[in-house]
């Protein structure tokens, strides 16, 4: 029992902040779990929860209906409820004073095997909707439509986005404008420097435009959810652009890492292999993302795909680092042998910086943003999105700036003094390595 409670707690806390609330339809079939978490939502003081339960059937129709019901519970109270259950202070989560009882099955007027319930939540906080079944070995089947929203202050319109996420459509829209501006600037810049433009610079342009389109669709998708509670605005377009953006961004990192079109016009076999690993994995990652977004959190399917997504993402992030490391190694060796120390040192410095920036970018957008998401209050959930988008923007700007087309190519114009200084430094570095 203790173990299953512990795992319940884990499920509760691990995945809590990730779901985007909207109207959900859930089918429960012959389920005897004592606790079934549904969905979570950040309520303001004008929160509403509407439950429409139909096709309700119990394996033992004579069971005590007062031990079945829905409640809302915050993450903190849940810890205390678990403690109460552990100490036998209460025998059923529904009896705890710490949860907000929404509906007990004995107190609701049912017509046939269905009922409706609207619940007003006036205590602002982040809640999870949970179904409790405190009758041993009782199997419950039902179809549940749950919708949670806040009423907008003045107009009284429904806002289906959780309290901390309600400004996200605007955030995504602002960022998409930034990227469109960036794309226009880049086109202008490429035109000005058209004599020194490589193919990779057009690839960079494509990545920026896809990122802008992706953000625009995300803004529209979120705004559609905000207004209607359903995720079928521009979600298909959003998934398509997410997919293209993911693939092109990783490909760009690999191509720059290999020095393709800067240092050499072709890819080596092992570098092609990295692309052959990363691109299919991105396909998997995007499928996982779609399933995660479209299914109910807490479900087994959801958890599995979440794990698949995390695993694939980690593999892709590690894989893109290899080509940069190989380039650094090749440049180091070239610096020792071909006598053009200054030129090679410059390239070497550039690739080392790039390596560090890619690692920082990956670390920030995966680890720091996740930590932010976990520690910030539900009201400021949007801050982790803003932080991730700023980090991404900084990464794009760095990449564009460092690898921009240059009329005065630093790779070739060097004087003797610089050459000597560089040779000196390389020698120093070698001594440190040994």
Ligand X SMILES: *[C@@H]1O[C@H](CO)[C@@H](O)[C@H](O)[C@H]1NC(C)=O
Residues lying near ligand X in the complex (CB under 6 A) are found at: 50, 52, 111, 114-118, 145
Q: How far is the CB of 49 from ligand X (least distance, A)?
A: 10
Q: How far is the CB of 222 from ligand X (least distance, A)?
A: 23
> Between 46 and 376, whose beta carbon lies closer to ligand X?
46
> Between 52 and 383, whose beta carbon lies closer to ligand X?
52
> Between 145 and 193, whose beta carbon lies closer to ligand X?
145
Q: How far is the CB of 23 from ligand X (least distance, A)?
A: 9
Task: Determine the Cα–Cα distance for residues 77 and 6; give it in Å rounded to an integer.
Answer: 15
Q: How far is the CB of 39 from ligand X (least distance, A)?
A: 16
Q: How far is the CB of 176 from ligand X (least distance, A)?
A: 34
> Between 115 and 411, whose beta carbon lies closer to ligand X?
115
Of all residues in the shown chain, the one whose CB is closest to ligand X is 116
Q: How far is the CB of 250 from ligand X (least distance, A)?
A: 42
> Between 86 and 120, whose beta carbon lies closer to ligand X?
120
DSSP collapsed to 3 states, the chain = CHHHHHHHHHHHHHCHHHCCCCCEEEEEEEECCCEEEEEEEEECCCEEEEEEEEEEEECCCCCCHHHEEEEEECHHHHHHHHHHHHCCCCCCHHHCCCCEEEEECCCCCCECCEEEEEEEECCCEEEEEEEEECCCCCCEEEEEEEEEEEECCCCCCEECCCHHHCCHHHHHHHHHHHHHHHHHHHHHHHHHCHHHCCHHHHHHHHHHHHHHHHHHHHHHHHHHHHHHCCCCCCHHHHHHHHHHHHHHHHHHHHHHHHCECCCECCCCHHHHHHHHHHHHHHHHHHHHHHHHHHCCCCCHHHHHHHHHHHHHHHHHHHHCHHHHHHHHHHHHHHHHHCCCHHHHHHHHHHHHHHHHHHHHHHHHHHHHHHHHHHHCCHHHCHHHHHHHHHHHHHHHHHHHHHCCCCCCCCCCCCCHHHHHHHHHHHHHHHHHHC
> Between 144 and 247, whose beta carbon lies closer to ligand X?
144
Q: How far is the CB of 59 from ligand X (least distance, A)?
A: 22
Neighbours of 272 (CB within 10 A): 13
Q: How far is the CB of 145 from ligand X (least distance, A)?
A: 6
Q: How far is the CB of 138 from ligand X (least distance, A)?
A: 22
Q: Are 210 and 421 in contact (CB under 8 A)?
A: no
Tokens 């991404």 belong to residue: 392
> Between 122 and 353, whose beta carbon lies closer to ligand X?
122
> Between 71 and 309, whose beta carbon lies closer to ligand X?
71
> Between 35 and 231, whose beta carbon lies closer to ligand X?
231
């Amino acid at each position: 029992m203790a173990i299953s409670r512990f795992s319940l707690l884990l499920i509760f806390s691990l995945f809590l902040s990730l779901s985007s609330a909207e109207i959900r339809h859930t089918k429960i079939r012959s389920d005897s779990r004592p606790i079934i978490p549904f969905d979570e939502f950040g309520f303001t003081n004008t929160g509403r929860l509407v439950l429409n339960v139909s096709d309700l059937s119990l394996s033992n129709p004579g069971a005590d209906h007062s031990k079945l019901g829905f409640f809302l519970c915050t993450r903190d109270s849940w810890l205390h409820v678990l403690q109460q259950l552990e100490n036998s202070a209460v025998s059923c989560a529904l009896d705890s004073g710490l949860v907000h009882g929404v509906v007990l099955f004995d107190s609701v007027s049912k017509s046939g095997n269905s009922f409706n319930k609207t619940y007003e939540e006036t205590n602002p906080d982040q809640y999870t909707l949970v179904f409790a079944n405190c009758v041993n070995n009782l199997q419950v089947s039902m179809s549940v439509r749950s919708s949670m929203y806040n009423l907008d202050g003045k107009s009284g319109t429904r806002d289906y986005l959780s309290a901390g996420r309600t400004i996200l459509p605007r955030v995504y829209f602002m960022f998409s404008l930034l990227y469109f501006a960036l794309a226009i600037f880049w086109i202008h810049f490429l035109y000005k420097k058209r004599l020194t433009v490589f193919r990779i610079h057009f690839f960079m342009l494509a990545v920026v435009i896809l990122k802008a389109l992706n953000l625009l669709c995300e803004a529209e998708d979120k705004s559609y959810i905000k207004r209607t509670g359903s995720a079928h605005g521009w979600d298909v377009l959003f998934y398509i652009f997410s997919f293209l953006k993911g693939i092109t961004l990783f490909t760009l990192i690999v191509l720059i890492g290999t020095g393709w079109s800067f240092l050499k016009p072709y890819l080596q076999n092992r570098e092609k292999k990295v692309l052959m690993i990363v691109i299919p994995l991105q396909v998997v990652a995007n499928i996982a993302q779609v399933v995660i977004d479209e299914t109910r959190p807490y479900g087994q399917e959801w958890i599995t795909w979440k794990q698949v997504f995390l695993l694939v993402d980690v593999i892709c992030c590690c894989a893109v680092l290899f080509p940069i490391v190989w380039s650094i190694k090749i440049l180091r060796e070239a610096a020792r042998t071909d006598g053009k120390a200054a030129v090679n040192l410059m390239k070497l410095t550039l690739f080392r910086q790039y390596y560090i920036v890619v690692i920082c970018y990956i670390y920030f957008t995966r680890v720091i943003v996740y930590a932010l998401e976990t520690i910030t209050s539900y009201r400021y959930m949007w801050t982790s999105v803003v932080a991730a988008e700023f980090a991404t923007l900084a990464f794009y700007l760095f990449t564009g700036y460092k690898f921009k087309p240059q009329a005065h190519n630093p790779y070739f114009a060097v004087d003797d003094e610089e050459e000597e200084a560089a040779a000196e430094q390389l020698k120093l570095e070698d001594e440190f390595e040994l």
